[in-house]
Amino acid sequence: MNDESHGKTRRAFLKGTTAAMAVPLILTSRNSVAQTPPPVPPPSPPTTAWTVFLDDAITKLNPVSALDPVQQIAANVGNGEAGRADHQRFVELTSARGKSPTLYEMTAKENLEWSFNPAYPKQRIWGFAPGDSDAPDAATTPGPTLFARYGEPIICRIHNGLPYNHVGFGTPEITTHLHNAHR
C-alpha cells in the first residue's frame, strides 16, 4: 500500500465519520424534542366562604393540682414516661425560687370527626386534648393555650396518645415548640 492511497483512505474515513456525527445535530431542532406541559393543579373543591364563625376565643388549658406519677428529675420509665436526659433546670423550677411550679397536663391524640368546613367531609386530625382525656372528640386544632408569667415556673406533661400503628402521612411522634416561653 503506497502513501498516496493510504492518505486518501484516511481522509475519506475522517470525512465520513464527521458527517455521520453531524447528521443527528443537523436533523434535531428545538421543536423535535417532546415538550412537557407545565403541571396543572387540580381545582379546589367549591365552598361557600364565611359560613363558619371563627371563634376568637382562646381555649385555655387549666392547671392541675398534681401530676401522676409525680414529676422528678430523671425519666420515670417504670410509669410510662419516655426515656430522656435529666431535666436541665428541675431544681430551679421546683424549689430554688421558693415557688412551686404551675402544673399542666395534655394529650396529643387523634380525632376522627374534625370538621374544618361543613362543605367538606369530616377529617382525621392529630390534635391536643386537655388532661389525659379519653373522649374521642376532645382533641382540637389548634390545641389549648397555657397562660404563664415571666419568672413563674411551669411544668407541662404531654401524653402521646397518637395511634402507634399509624399507616400513611405523618409519624405518631410529638415535638413541642413554645411561643414566647423562655427565660
Helix/strand/coil (H, E, C) string of 66-95? CCCCCCCCCCCHHHCCCCCCCCCCHHHHHH
Give the residue among 105, 111, 173 at the shortest CA–CA distance from 141. 111
Place of cell 392547671: 63
Q: Which amino acid is at 43?
A: P
Query: What pLDDT score does 32 carry?
Result: 56
Distances in whole angstroms, Cα of residue 32 to Cα of each of 23, 29, 36, 38, 132? 14, 5, 12, 18, 65
For residue 140, is pLDDT > 70? yes
| CA 1 – CA 153 distance, rounded (Å) | 100
156-169 pLDDT per residue, tens = 888 888 998 888 78
Task: Please state the length of the chain.
Answer: 183
Handedness of CA 93, 150, 183, 173 (dihedral sign): positive
The three grid cell numbers given for residue 94, joined into one nine-digit string: 421546683
Confidence tier at 170 by pLDDT (50, 70, 90): confident
Per-domain residue ranges for the chain?
Answer: 3-28, 77-161
Q: Which residue has the higher pLDDT, 75 or 34?
A: 75
Query: What pLDDT score does 104 carry?
Result: 92
pLDDT (average), residues 96-101 = 72
Query: What pLDDT score does 39 carry?
Result: 86
Q: Which residue has the higher pLDDT, 62 or 12?
A: 62
Query: What pLDDT score does 97 carry?
Result: 61
Confidence tier at 64 by pLDDT (50, 70, 90): very high
Q: Which residue has the higher pLDDT, 61 or 91?
A: 61
On whether the CB atoms of residues 73 and 84 are closer than 8 A, the answer is no
Query: What pLDDT score does 19 carry?
Result: 73
The percentage of residues in the chain with a pLDDT greater than 70, rounded to a whole number, is: 84
